[in-house]
Structure 1
Amino acid sequence: MVKPRILQQNKISTKVGQKPGFLFRPENAFDTRLFLISFDEFELVEKEYESYDELFAYMQQRPHQRHWLDVRGYGNLEILENIARDFNIHPLQLEDVISDYQRPKVEEESGSLFMISRMVTFTPKKLIDDDQLSIFTGPNYVLTFQSDYEDCLNPLRLRIRGGKGIIRKRPVVYMAYAIMDVVLDHYFPVLAEMSDYLDELEDCLFKQPKKEILSRILSVKREIVKLRRIIWPERDKISELLRSSPEVIPDDLKIYFRDTYDHSVQIIDLVENYKEMSGSLVELYLSNINNRMNEIMKVLTIISSIFIPLSFIVGIYGMNFSRENPDGSINYLNMPELYQPYGYITLLFLMGALILGQIYFFYRKGWFK
């Protein structure tokens, strides 16, 4: 679901002047749904719970398993507050979760991590829609919070269900890495769609540059700048994770985070390239418009150059000086050609020859190419 950007402004204005840790129900918030995946190397249980108390009791009864509690929708503040109480989430952290517009970051406390990532999609309206994903780690659990029901984490869920890879054998911090890695990998198809769209705009510019094309270019340029603002703190977040102590992230797992860091650098490179490409498209549009204007001016110049001498000639012959003087004598200096029997035809041939001569001259100069 694409959220209008005005909603983000409303969320910010709602918090102005409130005390730290103030919780509010976001406008148009979805009802809170609870999804739990509990697993170890040999067993997997996946279920959506209607009752939070039942879910928490199940997790307490199975401390030997690893649990992924996925909370979707912020419509029920009571459930969110209960989760914060039972999992020792600070009110300020829960406020960051619900506010849903935080930049990517990581906080470490007592061996646990609180991370924020942003999931992005390229909408049919050619806009970047980004949703916040908040991640908490604990001794045997990972909590994720998101405001929407849809996300990009289904490939990870399929890997857990199928027992593929090492995710069901590793500690929970590896699952936190896997979640973050899937979110980051989803940037690549978004960038591929954006690249195709930029190519489409470039083709349109070569065919026929219009103001509508310029508007679309400036719009996608704004989206690229937005994506750039998202991915840079994402890289900084992963860099900070790599500097964490071995108690938080074991040394044998840091190689996976380094791989994710490499992905973030690749994404930044692509975003920077697309930013330059969008700027080049604006310059190409302006260049095409200037070339088109130059072509128009060239045509008008040719037409003017042809008709200015003709206008000069007909202007001279349009002067009404009398051939006869008042006393009846002839003034031979006033338009003697007016009484020539073939004067009119001769003048037309002269003007035609002048036109052909000018056209030949312009052709030799390459004005018609």
Structure 2
Amino acid sequence: FGKNFLITTHYASLPWLDSLLQEAQEKSAEEHLMSRGIAFLLYTFLDTLVDSYFPVLDDIDEIIDDLEDVTVNSTSNDVQVRIFRIKRSLAQMRRVISPQVEVVNALVARTGKFIPAKMNPYFADVHDHLIRAFEVLDSYRDLMGGMLDVYLTTVSNRLNAVMKQLTIIATVFMPITFITGVFGQNFGHLPQVEHDNGYLFWIVLAFMGLITALQLWYFKKRGWL
């Protein structure tokens, strides 16, 4: 910027900058931004830029609120993808805002030909807004880190529950498999197999049912079912 000009560079059209330019063009000569000096124009530009961050932060806050409920109740991979996507967006915003804090702080500390001392409170206000946006970003980043830990814990607990159920099923069938394996051996002479008149089969079957019932009762008593 110079005495009578302010140059901006950006890759695409910025709605907030277009609105600021339109507002400046519609005002009369007495109310025109340039009539108050280039320093005030620079302040207005920076203040509008910083204010444009807060609607984005509000949108991210709503997304995080919705994601908190989903994280506790779902173990879908889509939740993890959404968490990492938000963390990436926060990191990008942080990289954008961080240098601006130093730039505005330098404008507050330095006064000279184009920035009079009376403009210090204005730039200090912009600096405070940047610090607040930076702190909000840090709080969101910490919140997303905690949310990722909650998601991983939920997935781990769900996996442990599945493994517990599979272990119970395997434990229930273990003695039954042992009994059927013993009586299913290919021996020529096995006691009470050839001359039991059929009652041994029902005894063994009842015994296996009793073992299964006792196991299920014990598991339920211990709170494993």
TM-score of Structure 1 vs Structure 2, range by shorter chain: 0.7 to 0.9
Query: Partners in 1 of 2:203 and 2:134 — Cα distance?
Result: 75
Amino acid in structure 2 at the alignment position of 1:153: L
Aligned partners of 1:146, 1:301: CA distance in 2, in Å? 61
1:228-256 CA-partner distances (Å, limit 9, x unpaired): 11111110111111111253322222111
Give deviations 1:292-322, integer Å, cap 9, x for gaps.
2111100100101100011011111112333
User: What's 1:151 paired with?
Assistant: 15
Matched residue, 1:209:
75
- Counterparts of 1:300 and 1:149 in 2: how far apart (Å)? 58
* In structure 2, distance between residues paired with 1:170 and 1:226: 34
Name the structure 2 match of 1:64. Answer: none
Of 175-184 and 245-254, more deviation after overlay is shown by 245-254
Partner Cα distance (1:235, 1:195) in 2: 22
Equivalent position SS for 1:321: coil
Q: What does residue 213 of structure 2 align with?
A: 356
Q: Identity of paired residues, percent?
A: 29
The correspondence for 2:169, drawn from 269, 281, 303, is: 303
Q: Which runs of 5+ in 2 are unaligned?
A: none
If the length of structure 2 is used for normalisation, what is the TM-score? 0.86
- 1:140 maps to 4
Q: Tell whether the 8 Å contact from 2:16 to 2:49 is kept in structure 1 after alignment.
A: yes
Q: Secondary structure at the match of 1:198?
A: helix
Alignment of 1:163-174 (within 5 A): 167=33, 170-174=36-40
Amino acid at match of 2:115: I
Deviation, 1:155, is 4.8
Residue type of the partner of 2:104? I
Separation of aligned partners in 1, 2:11 and 2:71: 39
**Alignment match of 2:191 (pick from 335, 338, 342):** 335
Which aligned pairs between 1:287-298 and structure 2 lie closer than 5 A? 287-298=153-164
SS at match of 1:305: helix
Aligned 8 A contact 2:33 2:40 in 1:
yes
RMSD over aligned CA atoms reads 2.5
Return the alpha-carbon distance in structure 1 between the equivalents of residues 150 and 6 of structure 2: 49
Question: Which protein has the bigger strand share?
Answer: 1
Correspondence 1:151-300 to 2 at 5 A: 151-157=15-21, 160=24, 161=26, 167=33, 170-300=36-166
Q: Map 1:53-202 onto structure 2 (within 5 A).
A: 136=1, 138-157=2-21, 160=24, 161=26, 167=33, 170-202=36-68
Change in Cα spacing, 1:337 to 1:234, as seen in structure 2 (3 Å) is: same
- Structure 1 or 2: larger helix share? 2
Give the Cα separation in 1 of the matches to 2:180 and 2:216.
20
For 1:256 and 1:342, how far apart are their aligned partners in 2? Answer: 99
* Matches of 2:191 and 2:142, distance apart in 1: 67
Q: Which has the higher contact order (CA 8 A, sep 6+)?
A: 2
**Correspondence list, 1:21-36, <5 A:** none
CA deviations over 1:3-39 (Å, ceiling 9, x no partner): xxxxxxxxxxxxxxxxxxxxxxxxxxxxxxxxxxxxx
Cα separation, 2, equivalents of 1:191 and 1:233: 18
* Cα distance between partner residues in 2 of 1:309 and 1:188: 65
- The 2-side partners of 1:336 and 1:343 are apart by 7
